[in-house]
Chains A and B, each alone.
Chain A
Amino acid sequence: MREMTVEQATDMMLHVCDAIIGQKQYLAEVDSRIGDGDHGAGMAGGMEKAKAALEAKRPFPDINTIFRTMGMEMIGSMGGASGVIFGSMFMGGACDVPSAQILDSDILAKMMRASLDAVKHRGKAQLGDKTMVDALEPAVLALERQACAELEESLKAAALAAEEGVEKTKDYVAKFGRAKFLGERTLGYEDAGAVSVRVIFQTMKEYAEVQ
C-alpha cells in the first residue's frame, strides 16, 4: 500500500497495542535476563490504556492525534523509564510535525525522526548504549532512505532495520537502566526496550502488508 487514511492508521496502531499486550510475558522474560522484569507489564499496561483511548476517541482529526493520544496515555499511566521514553517516542513525532491527513512514507519518516530526537533528548542515550535507541535509530534511517517508496516498502525496511538493531544490542554493554550495573555481563543479551521497538515496527509492517 502507498499510504494510509487516518482510520487505517488508527487500526494499525490498535494492532500495535494488541501485539505488545500479547508479548507481555516474552518482554518480561527478555527484561529479567539483565533488568528487573518489569518491562512486559509496563509496556502492556501502557498499551492497554492507549488502546482504550484509541477506541474511545476515534475517529481522529489527523495522524498526529493518534500518536499524541497514545503517547499521553503511556506517559500518564506507565511510570518507569519506559513510560517517559516510549511516551516521548509517540508524542515527539506527533507534536513536532505539521498535521497530516494521510500517512505515507515521507510523513512517517519525518514523524519518527522527531520521535527519535525526543527520545534522545529525554533519555540521553546514544547508539550503542544498549537501549531502545539501538532499534529506533536504524529504523528511522531506513524510513528516511525509503521516504519516496510505498508505505509497505518503507515499513518493511524499518522492521528489518529494527530487527538488526535488536541483534546488535547483544554486542553492546548496557549504559542505561538497571542493566548498566551489570557491565560486561550484559553482553550476549538483547535489550528489552529495543525488542519492544522491533515488535512495534514488525506489527506496523504486517498491517501494511495485509491491507
Chain B
Amino acid sequence: MKKIINEDTSKAVDEMLSGMLAAYGRYYERIGNCNAYRYKNFRREKVTLVIGGGSGHEPLFGGFVGKGLADAVACGNVFASPNPNLIFETAKSVNQGKGILFLYGNYEGDNLNFDMAGELCEFENIQTATVRVWDDCTSAPKERETDRRGIAGNVFIIKTAGAACDEGLPLKEVVRIAEKARDNVRSAGLAVSSGSLPGNEKPTFELGEDEIEFGVGIHGEPGVERSKMQPAHALVEKMYEQLKKELQLTKKDEVAVLVNGLGATPLFELNIVYHELNKLLKEDGVAVYDAEVKTYCTSMEMGGFSISIYKLDEELKKYYSAECFSPFYARGVID
C-alpha cells in the first residue's frame, strides 16, 4: 500500500501526533511522553471531559479537544483503543476533583480499556463516569442497541457534553445530558472503497469497481449489504429512510445534520449528498437547525460517507448552540 509514512510503522501514531501538536501547539500540550494531549486552557473547577479511541479516524477524536469541547484525549494505535495506563494519565492530567466523564465509541476494546482506567482512577479517588456512543444504527438491530458501534455521531455528543461541562453542572447531570444526546443521534454509512492500515500489505477489505457496501464500520467491519453502485439520490434515500424510522422523525421535528466523509471522498461529492438529503428533509417538513458537510470521522483512506441526524429539543439545542472552538471544529462563535 502506498502511504506517506516512514520506515518504522510502529512510530506512525507518535509521529502523526508530534506533527499535529507542533502545528497546533498554540492550543494543545502533550501529556508527558504519552500519545495523549490536553487543551491548554482546559476546564478548571468543573467536571472535565476525556475522550479517546483508536487513531486513524482523524480529525476524530483529538480534533474535538478544545474550548467548549473535550479537555483531553487519549490516542490509541491505529484502530485500537488506548491502553488503561494512557487513559489514566490523560484523566489525571485534567482532574479537577469534580469528576471526569469518559466519552467514547462503543467497542469491546475501548470498553475494556476505559473500564480498567476507571478502576485505576478509583484507586486514586478520582471519580469517573462513562457514556458510550452507539449511533451507527446499521450495526445491530434496535433491540440490541448496546451492541451498536460509535461513528461520526460522536461529534454531536462530544459537542453537547462539552457544553454541559462548561455550565458547571455536577457529573451526574453531565452524564444525563450526554446520554440524552447519545439517545437522539443516529448514523448510517456506506463505503465505496476500503482503507488500509499503515504496515499492512493489503487493504482491509475488497470491493469491486461497481460495488458499494452499506453499513461498513469505520474500521472496515463489513457492513450489512453489498450492492451495485447507484446514483447519489438513491443512496441517500435508502440511508435517510432508515434514520427517519430510527428517530421517528415527523413534521416540525428539529434536527442537526452531519454529512461526513470517510476519508477519500471529496467535499464535492459530500455536498451532492447533502443536496439530496436536504430535499428529503424538506419534503417531510423536518426543520434543519444546523447542517455540516465535512470530513470528521474517517477510516484512513476509505471512500464513502455517513449521515448523522441529531434530533433536538430545547434543552439539547441550548447545549448544541453554545460556543466551542478547536482548530477542526467550531460552533456558535459567529452568528
The binding surface of chain B is classed by DSSP as loop
| Chain B 99-133 interface mask (CB, 8 Å, partner A; 1/0) | 00000000111001100100000000000000000
Among B79, B147, B149, B201, the residue within 8 A (CB) of A38 is B79
Cα-based distance from A189 to B79 in the complex (angstroms) = 21
Task: Given the known inter-chain contacts A29-B202, A81-B81, please indicate yes or no for A38 contacting B108, CB distance below 8 A.
Answer: no
Q: Which residues of chain A from 72 to 131 have any CB-CB distance to chain B below 8 Å in the complex?
A: 75-85, 122-123
Among B19-27, B215-223, B235-243, B256-264, the one that faces the other chain is B215-223
B127 CB to nearest chain A CB (Å): 22
Task: Given the known inter-chain contacts A76-B85, A123-B112, please indicate yes or no for A35 contacting B77, CB distance below 8 A.
Answer: no
Chain A residue numbers with a CB within 8 Å of B83 are: 75-79, 83-84
Question: A38 touching B139 by the CB < 8 A rule?
Answer: no
Task: Given the known inter-chain contacts A38-B78, A83-B83, please indicate yes or no for A178 contacting B107, CB distance below 8 A.
Answer: yes
Chain B residue numbers with a CB within 8 Å of A82 are: 80, 109
Q: How many cross-chain pairs have Cβ atoms below 8 Å apart between A and B? A: 116
Question: B197 touching A178 by the CB < 8 A rule?
Answer: no
Cα-based distance from A196 to B200 in the complex (angstroms) = 17
Q: Which residues of chain B from 12 to 67 have any CB-CB distance to chain A below 8 Å in the complex?
A: 54
User: Is the CB of B82 closer than 8 A to any CB of chain A?
Assistant: yes
Among B9, B76, B204, the residue within 8 A (CB) of A32 is B204
User: Is the CB of A42 closer than 8 A to any CB of chain B?
Assistant: yes
| Chain A 24-49 interface mask (CB, 8 Å, partner B; 1/0) | 01001100101111101110010010
Task: Given the known inter-chain contacts A80-B80, A81-B81, A84-B84, please indicate yes or no for A185 contacting B201, CB distance below 8 A.
Answer: no
User: Is the CB of B10 closer than 8 A to any CB of chain A?
Assistant: yes
Cα-based distance from A75 to B78 in the complex (angstroms) = 16
Among A25, A76, A79, the residue within 8 A (CB) of B54 is A79
Task: Given the known inter-chain contacts A80-B76, A82-B109, A123-B112, please indicate yes or no for A40 contacting B200, CB distance below 8 A.
Answer: yes
Cα-based distance from A153 to B42 in the complex (angstroms) = 59
User: Is the CB of B86 closer than 8 A to any CB of chain A?
Assistant: yes
The binding surface of chain A is classed by DSSP as helix
B190 CB to nearest chain A CB (Å): 14
B311 CB to nearest chain A CB (Å): 24
Cα-based distance from A29 to B222 in the complex (angstroms) = 14
Task: Given the known inter-chain contacts A181-B139, A181-B149, please indicate yes or no for A45 contacting B109, CB distance below 8 A.
Answer: no
Question: A178 touching B219 by the CB < 8 A rule?
Answer: yes
Chain B residue numbers with a CB within 8 Å of A79 are: 54, 76-77, 80-83, 86, 109, 113
User: Is the CB of B168 closer than 8 A to any CB of chain A?
Assistant: no
Question: A181 touching B200 by the CB < 8 A rule?
Answer: no
Question: A36 touching B109 by the CB < 8 A rule?
Answer: no
Question: B108 touching A176 by the CB < 8 A rule?
Answer: yes
| Chain B 182-216 interface mask (CB, 8 Å, partner A; 1/0) | 00000000000000010111101100000000000
User: Is the CB of B286 closer than 8 A to any CB of chain A?
Assistant: no
A-side residues, CB < 8 A to B, are: 25, 28-29, 32, 34-38, 40-42, 45, 48, 75-85, 122-123, 176-182, 185
B-side residues, CB < 8 A to A, are: 9-10, 54, 76-86, 107-109, 112-113, 116, 139-140, 147, 149, 197, 199-202, 204-205, 217, 219-222
Please list 8 pairs of residues, one from A and one from B, whose beta carbons are closer than 8 Å in the complex, sorted by A's number: A32-B202, A34-B222, A37-B197, A38-B219, A75-B85, A76-B84, A181-B222, A185-B222
The 9 closest A-B pairs by CB, nearest first: A80-B80, A36-B219, A81-B109, A79-B76, A80-B109, A84-B112, A79-B83, A81-B108, A79-B80
